[in-house]
């Protein structure tokens, strides 16, 4: 085809065209196929917020490149998409704009599906899920009952943020800074009976499982380990003279026990009342507690360490000394025993507290080699050697910890204990827009689970969303009033809904049988597809979502419903697209670049190509308007180059694309096959797509240069092979233009169902290769020689190079360092 007859590249025409054709051919719909290796690829479930920007496009394109690549490499690729649709923003929108959360969510999802289709990602849309649809949350409820049956769901009193003015419960993020987000009133802590899952039962398994996840980023695993916060120590008791009860404390530093100069207890410690009753300090303690009580735990942690003497003393179990008991704001009741042995000399917090209240500081651990050491201006918190510790003097900290523990255990006043920072998962939300918890409260039978055949417990459409008066469901009599499944008498439904993290803890299994109404998923499908091979998502979900999903999966594994016991084999955290001003992309900063406006202007292939080229997938980079224009330019060049030779390409490739045009063809083939090798290894391993795009560009440059210098380029098998290769490796990145050009060069089968090109080792070996010549380590020239050339041969060629010879002139050669096929360094003096 002559230059003049080449039609213009019009992405706005070809992109929708191919999307329609792929859909008609149902090309992206998949099923189980034992003959092929499976590959389960997933991006984290997006929240149904309504509008996608180029940051989302980057994320989903990354997945699509991996998916299309794997498919061309022969895998059966599961790559589904869905929406996290329950949650607070929908309810907030309802309160603010008067739209119903369901309507708001549905229109958002419709828009997002439209945008995702437009991106050309090869999702199997027959499997799409919406976590707020009854056909989905029915199974979320079913899984809640499974948790209950397995003894992992229970109800207990727990504090919530309560706004006294709005008369409502607030989520933590709505109570930031301790004030209500809507009216600014001081938030109170209120005790409410709520549902929990026993995640702590799985603490050790969640911890241990991390060691078997080599495909996870180390930093995410570290964050999870810290979150679980396992610590081994000893729990032991202090007697209180005159009282029957003892005060129990937990410590990991039993080696410092002889340094105890006070006991610190939380303001809500169970023994507190008993301790202060009738003492002169009672009034002061109550005043102190009143001042601390209305602060949230978070606020307390930011305050100065305060406390008052309770008036009571405890007896040190080893020394028998009297130790004052202080009521403090820095000891929390929800960890350990709510009481701490105060060792100012060897603990930072105790040191601060003791300083402020002029308590004794007793040094009992000294740095190695400094037995006379005494703590003055700062605590000594490292391990060391014991002093002033009776018969334990001279032991190292490590020895002392076990020896003293044995002593306490023998005397029956202590035991080894493991504590976790991880708490049980609070599932209850006093909200409307969530999956109802499937239980009823019966005056006769108490808390009764809704039978499975009565699921789902439907969320009523009509409910008041004023944002006040507690949960909206409390005010829907038709929902609340029901009958007891056991006795048939009148009963009331639970009005709490579930934390949305529950919906997203199992969704990746629902994709396997997204519309099954007999089970959440089929065993057969789970054993074929699970676990997820490759999970892509933001690092902001490092602990919450990823911990909950792991917990769920382990429970399901125990229940025999899934294979293996970790849900995500490889985890990849993608980076963000920043605004063109290098700031985080956000509506308030006004730097959001939308998918629609970008696709209208440049086409999605250009968007995809640019986003993959701009940087490695794990790091942030800024958007660039000129950058995407460059991607369009590149696609235009590919368009013109291919169509200029389309006629020739329609002819079948000549057998054995061997060199027919001497060294130019060999060089071209070298370029083609080294790019195949590079791209294949990159996508499969590091996923540094930016270097793949760069390889594609280089290949394009090579082919253009070849075409420019050979009138009959399309007669060369090497050139034809190069063009085909260009399209094949471009296909995962820019699927529409690759498909269009593939068709225009006479192919009938979709390029996305073609086999990924294999590289030819023979093409990668060359007759001459460059050798770097250094003198004293400095680059002084390059020579060309055959691979396998001897050191002497290279040396002889090197000294003929003027810039090398000039450096050798008049000097003695002391040494030569020769790296075969690479480099010769001549050391002179």
Partner RNA sequence: GCCCAGGUGGCGGAAUUGGUAGACGCGCUAGUUUGAGGGGCUAGUCGGGUAAAACCGGUGCAGGUUCGAUUCCUGUCCUGGGCACCA
Q: Nearest to residue 316, comparing CAs of 246, 364, 366, 375?
A: 246
- Region for residue 659 given its phi and psi (left: phi exceeds 0; alpha: psi -120 to 50; beta: otherwise): beta
Q: Smallest gap, in angstroms, from Cβ of residue 285 to RNA?
A: 18
**Judged by CB, which is closer to RNA: 498, or 683?**
683
**Judged by CB, which is closer to RNA: 8, or 369?**
8
Q: Smallest gap, in angstroms, from Cβ of residue 711 to RNA?
A: 15
Q: Smallest gap, in angstroms, from Cβ of residue 331 to RNA?
A: 4
**Judged by CB, which is closer to RNA: 125, or 621?**
621
CA distances from 532 to 45, 107, 508, 527, 563 (A): 13, 29, 8, 11, 11
Helix crossing, 717-730 with 625-644: angle to 10°? Answer: 140
**Judged by CB, which is closer to RNA: 347, or 566?**
347
Q: Smallest gap, in angstroms, from Cβ of residue 73 to RNA?
A: 17
DSSP for residue 424:
-
DSSP state string for 278-331: T-TTHHHHHHHHHHHHTS-HHHHHHS---EEEEEEEEE-TTT--EEEEEEESS-
Q: Smallest gap, in angstroms, from Cβ of residue 477 to RNA?
A: 41
Q: Smallest gap, in angstroms, from Cβ of residue 139 to RNA?
A: 30
Q: Smallest gap, in angstroms, from Cβ of residue 368 to RNA?
A: 19
3-state SS, one letter per residue, for 348-383: HHHHHHHHHCCCCCCCCEECCCCCCCCCCCCCCCCC
**Judged by CB, which is closer to RNA: 32, or 681?**
681
**Judged by CB, which is closer to RNA: 491, or 738?**
738
Sheet holding 490-493, edge to edge: 446-449, 439-442, 490-493, 481-483
Q: Which residues contact 697 (CB under 8 A, 6 or more apart)?
A: 634
Encoding tokens for residue 657? Answer: 């694309």
Q: Which residues contact 136 (CB under 8 A, 6 or more apart)?
A: 129, 130, 503, 510
Q: Smallest gap, in angstroms, from Cβ of residue 408 to RNA?
A: 14
Q: Smallest gap, in angstroms, from Cβ of residue 627 to RNA?
A: 5
**Judged by CB, which is closer to RNA: 505, or 680?**
680
**Judged by CB, which is closer to RNA: 638, or 763?**
638
Residues 779, 785, 790, 793: is their CA dihedral positive or negative?
Answer: negative
Q: Which uninterrupted H or E stretch holds 341?
A: strand 339-342
Beta strands 231-239; 246-251: pairing state: antiparallel
**Judged by CB, which is closer to RNA: 168, or 678?**
678
Encoding tokens for residue 421? Answer: 């920072």
* Pair 388, 363: CB distance under 8 Å: yes
Q: Looking at the DSSP assignment, which residues form a beta bridge with residue 82?
A: 129
Beta strands 439-442; 490-493: pairing state: antiparallel
Q: Looking at the DSSP assignment, which residues form a beta bridge with residue 386?
A: 365
Q: Smallest gap, in angstroms, from Cβ of residue 703 to RNA?
A: 12
**Judged by CB, which is closer to RNA: 106, or 350?**
350
Q: What is d(CA 512, CA 530) in angstroms, rounded to the nearest whole number?
A: 9
């Amino acid at each position: 085809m002559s230059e003049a007859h080449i039609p213009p590249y019009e992405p706005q025409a070809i992109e929708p065209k191919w999307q329609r054709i792929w859909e008609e051919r149902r090309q992206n719909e998949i099923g189980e196929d034992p003959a092929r290796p499976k590959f389960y690829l997933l991006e984290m479930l997006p929240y149904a917020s309504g509008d996608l920007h180029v940051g989302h496009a980057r994320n989903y394109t990354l997945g699509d490149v991996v998916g299309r690549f794997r498919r061309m490499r022969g895998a059966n690729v599961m790559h589904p998409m869905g929406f996290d649709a329950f949650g607070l923003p929908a309810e907030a929108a309802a309160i603010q704009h008067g739209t119903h959360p369901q309507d708001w969510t549905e229109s958002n999802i419709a828009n997002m599906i439209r945008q995702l289709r437009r991106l050309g990602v090869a999702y199997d849309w027959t499997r799409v899920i919406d976590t707020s649809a009854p056909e989905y949350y029915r199974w979320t409820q079913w899984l809640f009952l499974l948790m209950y049956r397995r003894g992992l769901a229970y109800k207990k009193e727990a504090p919530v943020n309560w706004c006294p003015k709005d008369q409502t419960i607030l989520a933590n993020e709505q109570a930031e800074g301790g004030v209500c987000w809507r009216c600014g009133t001081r938030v109170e802590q209120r005790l409410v009976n709520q549902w929990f899952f026993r995640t702590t039962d799985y603490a050790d398994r969640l911890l241990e499982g991390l060691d078997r996840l080599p495909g996870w980023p180390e930093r995410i695993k570290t964050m999870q380990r810290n979150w679980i916060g396992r610590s081994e120590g000893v729990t032991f008791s202090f007697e209180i003279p005159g009282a029957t009860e003892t005060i129990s404390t937990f410590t990991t530093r039993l080696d410092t026990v002889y340094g105890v100069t006070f006991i610190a207890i939380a303001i809500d410690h169970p023994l507190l009342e008993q301790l202060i009753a009738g003492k002169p300090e009672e009034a002061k303690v109550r005043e102190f507690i009143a001042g601390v009580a209305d602060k949230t735990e978070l606020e307390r942690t930011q305050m100065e360490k305060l406390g008052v003497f309770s008036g009571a003393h405890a007896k040190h179990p080893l020394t028998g000394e009297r130790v004052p008991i202080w009521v403090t704001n820095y000891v929390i009741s929800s960890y350990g025993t709510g009481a701490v042995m105060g060792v100012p000399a060897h603990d930072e917090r105790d040191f601060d507290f003791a300083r402020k209240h002029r308590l004794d500081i007793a040094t009992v651990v000294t740095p190695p080699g400094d037995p006379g050491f005494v703590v003055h201006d700062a605590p000594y918190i490292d391990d060391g050697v014991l002093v002033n510790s009776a018969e334990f003097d001279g032991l190292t900290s490590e020895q002392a910890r076990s020896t003293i523990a044995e002593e306490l255990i023998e005397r029956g006043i202590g035991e080894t204990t493991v504590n976790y920072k991880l708490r049980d998962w609070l599932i209850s939300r006093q909200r409307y827009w969530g999956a109802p918890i499937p239980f009823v409260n019966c005056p006769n039978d108490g808390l009764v689970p809704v039978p499975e055949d009565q699921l789902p417990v439907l969320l009523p459409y009509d409910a008041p969303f004023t944002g006040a008066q507690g949960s909206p469901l409390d005010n829907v009599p038709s929902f609340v009033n029901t009958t007891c499944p056991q006795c048939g008498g009148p009963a009331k439904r639970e009005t709490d809904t579930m934390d949305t993290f529950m919906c997203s803890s199992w969704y990746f299994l629902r994709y396997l049988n997204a519309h099954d109404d007999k089970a959440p998923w089929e065993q057969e499908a789970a054993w074929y597809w699970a676990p997820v091979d490759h999970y892509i998502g933001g690092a902001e979900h490092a602990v919450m979502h990823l911990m909950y999903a792991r917990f769920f999966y382990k429970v399901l594994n125990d229940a025999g419903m899934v294979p293996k016991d970790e849900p995500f084999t490889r985890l990849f955290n993608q980076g963000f697209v920043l605004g063109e001003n290098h700031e985080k992309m956000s509506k308030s900063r006004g730097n959001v670049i939308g998918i629609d406006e970008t696709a209208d202007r440049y086409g999605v292939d250009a968007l995809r190509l640019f986003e993959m080229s701009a940087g490695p997938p794990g790091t942030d980079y800024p958007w660039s308007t000129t950058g995407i224009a460059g991607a369009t330019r590149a696609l235009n060049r590919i368009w013109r180059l291919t169509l200029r030779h389309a006629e020739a390409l329609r002819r079948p490739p000549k057998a054995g694309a061997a060199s027919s045009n001497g060294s130019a063809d060999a060089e071209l083939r070298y370029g083609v096959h080294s790019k195949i090798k590079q791209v294949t290894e990159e996508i499969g391993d590091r996923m540094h797509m930016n270097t793949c795009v760069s390889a594609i560009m280089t290949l394009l440059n090579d082919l253009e240069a070849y075409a420019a210098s050979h009138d009959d380029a399309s007669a060369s098998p090497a050139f034809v092979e190069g063009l085909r290769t260009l399209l094949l490796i471009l296909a995962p990145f820019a699927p529409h233009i690759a498909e269009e050009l593939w068709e225009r060069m006479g192919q009938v089968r979709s390029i996305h169902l073609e086999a990924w090109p294999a590289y030819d080792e023979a093409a990668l070996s060359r007759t001459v290769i460059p050798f770097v010549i250094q003198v004293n380590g400095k680059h002084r020239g390059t020579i060309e020689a055959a691979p396998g050339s001897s050191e002497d041969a290279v040396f002889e060629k090197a000294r003929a190079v003027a810039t090398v010879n000039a450096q050798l002139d008049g000097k003695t050669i002391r040494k030569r360092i020769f790296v075969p096929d690479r480099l010769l360094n001549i050391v002179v003096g």
